[in-house]
Amino acid sequence: MCMNKVLIMGGNGFLGKNIASYFQTKEIPVAVYDVTAVENSSLKSYQGDVFHDGKLPEILSNYDTLIYLISTVSPKKSMDEPESAYTNDIPMLLRTLDLAKEASVKRVIFASSGGTIYGEGEGRELKEDSDTHPINHYAIAKLAAEKILLMYNERYGMENVILRIGNPYGMGQNPKSGVGALTIFTNRILNGEEILLYADPQSRRDYLSAEKVAEAFCLAYGYRFDKEVTPVFNIGSGKGYTLLELIALIEETLNTKAKVRIIEARGYDVKCNVLNVEKAKKYLNYQPEEDEKEKMKEYILQLKEKK
């Protein structure tokens, strides 16, 4: 497949900015579409709303590949406002896919949630064919979106690719967004604030840098599609750290003791989630960090320097 132009839908957020920057370093033409204005003058950008943008069909006709990052909910918001996961995100994806199909866009690379769609990992590494038992509306909507994308592959001959991403961290992540434990905890320690744990302190998660996520999208962009392979790939570190281990790592790196208060766990937070990334290694040539812990330390020090 010949691909030469990429449009990042929802590209003005944390991951979108990192992905756009990575593609630029690889000299791959990339542009951004977002509901908010893009400040990066080196990027071609469009500001618009998927639901109400009459120019979107024309815009999409200029691109071969879409990276789809649009998400209006988090696990918490989806439980506080259950309808939001289904009345916003799913219809936006459907409209984008229909317009993309009409514009002869061949591939949509979708950011799914490896951290939530499997449900409880029960201490084992999760593979792409593991059972999925989502425990919040956000995860259910992500899983439904995956099924829609795969159906478009079967029905319309598209080559959509799904990346099930672990728990990303990196520069530009908003510590007030409610997601991103490493970023939130580090900022609270740097500010002398208390860390509030709403989950079991022994909850184990799979963390990876935003740069690794961006690299995975680039690999998915260049992936030679094989109809015999279900195009769903876990993207993570293949390792897990408990929340207490994460806090201890930050304390060690900053040489500062954290103030931690444990609050009753929320029922919609997954307790154990570690992704098996062998399929992504085999088909995408994805390689996780050799030492994820050192990468996390580098990021913690970056946040310290930024203060």
pTM value is: 0.95
Phi, psi of 252 (to 5 degrees): -65, -45
Question: How big is the chain, counted in residues?
Answer: 307
Q: Are strands 167-169 and 207-209 parallel, antiparallel or unpaired?
A: parallel
- The whole-number pLDDT of residue 222 equals 96
- Determine the Cα–Cα distance for residues 154 and 143; give it in Å rounded to an integer: 17
Q: Coil, strand, or helix at residue 100?
A: helix
The span from the CA of 65 to the CA of 52, in Å, is: 21
For 157, the 3-state DSSP assignment is: coil
Question: Other CB atoms closer than 10 Å to residue 224's CB: what's the count?
Answer: 7
The C-alpha atoms of residue 272 and residue 191 are separated, in whole angstroms, by 29
3-state secondary structure of 212: helix
Q: What integer pLDDT is reported at residue 1 of this predicted model?
A: 38
Which residues is 195 bridged to in the sheet? 260
Residue 135 has what pLDDT? 85
b (16+ CB within 10 A) / e for 28-55: bebbbbbeeebeeeebebbeeebeebee
Cα angle: 295, vertex 126, 159; to 5 degrees: 90
- Cα–Cα distance measured from residue 246 to residue 244, given in angstroms and rounded to the nearest whole number: 5
Q: Which two tokens stand for residue 97?
A: 């896919």
- Give average pLDDT by consecutive 10-residue segment, the chain, 307 residues: 76 95 96 91 92 95 96 88 90 97 96 90 82 91 97 97 97 88 95 87 90 98 96 95 95 95 74 91 96 96 92
For 93, how many CA atoms within 13 A lie in the half-sphere containing its CB?
A: 30
CATH topology of domain 6-169+207-237: Rossmann fold (3.40.50)
